[in-house]
Each structure stands twice: as structure tokens, then as C-alpha cells.
């Protein structure tokens, strides 16, 4: 792989695009959770998994470049305006993904608590309102 600034720039820009798509998938997943759209949520989770695999593959390519780059580091590479701008965009989208991931995690935790509370309420309603059919049958057979 070429160690020139354009190849590094291309990898950074590709990572930015993937993370932006991941942020959109996280936002859409949150909308699906709020709207009780399980099919939509499952679809978004699949999208997120695919994007994470792509980001991991890209990260491995970037790691392969790090060692040779560190040895041949020159100020010219680090000072290109395109690279600086690309890194700035990458940092912005990384911060957005981090924020959305934390928000989505909190939403899922609240949803789990709500579902647990509803399930407990339902179970207490069923227990207090209806008799257990097995015990009802057993008591009838005893008569």
C-alpha cells in the first residue's frame, strides 16, 4: 500500500463516511425503540454490525500504515490542509457516534426497566385476578 498522504487521507475519509453512516444507524435505531418498531430495530442492528465490521477492517489497514509512517514521518505529511480538515471531520463524527452510542445505551436501559416493570405488573394482575388452572383442576378432582 502506498504511504503517500492521499492514501492516508482516503482511509481517514472512508472512516469518516463509515462512522457517519453508523451515527445515522444509531439514530434510526433509537427511533425504532421509541416507536416499538422491532423489525426496524433489528434492521438497524444488522446495519450497525455491518458498519462495525467495515470500520474494524479499515482500522486494521490504518494500523498497518502506522508502523512505516512512524519511521518515515515528515512534517510535510502532518501539515497538509486536506489532512488537517479530514482529521477534524473525523474527530467530529467520532464524538457524535460516542454521544449517540451513550444515548442509545441509556434509552435501552430505560426501556428494559419499563418492560420489566410492565411484566411485573402484568404478572401481579394475573396472579391476583385469575386462579392457576392446574390448582383449580386439582381442587375439582379432589371433590
- The C-alpha cell of 82 is what? 486536506
Is the confidence at residue 6, as pLDDT, over 60? no
Identify the pLDDT of residue 137: 66
pTM, full prediction: 0.69
Is the confidence at residue 97, as pLDDT, over 50? yes
Distances (CA, A) of 54 to 29, 38, 40, 60: 19, 24, 21, 10
Report the pLDDT averaged over residues 31-37.
90
Identify the pLDDT of residue 1: 43
Report the pLDDT averaged over residues 55-79.
70
- The C-alpha cell of 132 is what? 392457576
Is the confidence at residue 62, as pLDDT, over 60? yes
Report the pLDDT averaged over residues 129-138.
64
Higher pLDDT, 116 or 100: 100
Is the confidence at residue 5, as pLDDT, over 50? no
Identify the pLDDT of residue 114: 87
Return d(Cα 23, Cα 93) in angstroms, integer.
8
Amino acid at each position: 500500500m502506498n504511504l503517500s498522504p492521499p492514501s492516508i487521507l482516503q482511509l481517514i475519509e472512508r472512516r469518516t463516511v463509515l462512522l457517519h453512516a453508523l451515527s445515522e444507524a444509531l439514530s434510526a435505531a433509537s427511533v425504532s425503540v421509541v416507536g416499538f418498531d422491532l423489525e426496524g430495530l433489528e434492521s438497524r442492528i444488522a446495519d450497525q454490525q455491518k458498519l462495525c465490521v467495515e470500520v474494524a477492517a479499515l482500522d486494521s489497514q490504518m494500523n498497518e500504515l502506522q508502523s512505516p509512517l512512524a519511521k518515515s514521518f515528515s512534517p510535510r505529511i502532518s501539515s497538509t490542509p486536506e489532512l488537517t480538515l479530514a482529521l477534524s471531520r473525523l474527530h467530529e463524527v467520532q464524538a457524535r457516534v460516542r454521544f449517540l452510542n451513550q444515548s442509545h445505551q441509556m434509552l435501552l436501559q430505560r426501556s428494559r426497566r419499563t418492560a420489566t416493570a410492565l411484566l411485573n405488573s402484568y404478572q401481579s394482575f394475573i396472579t391476583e385476578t385469575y386462579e392457576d388452572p392446574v390448582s383449580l383442576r386439582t381442587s375439582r378432582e379432589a371433590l
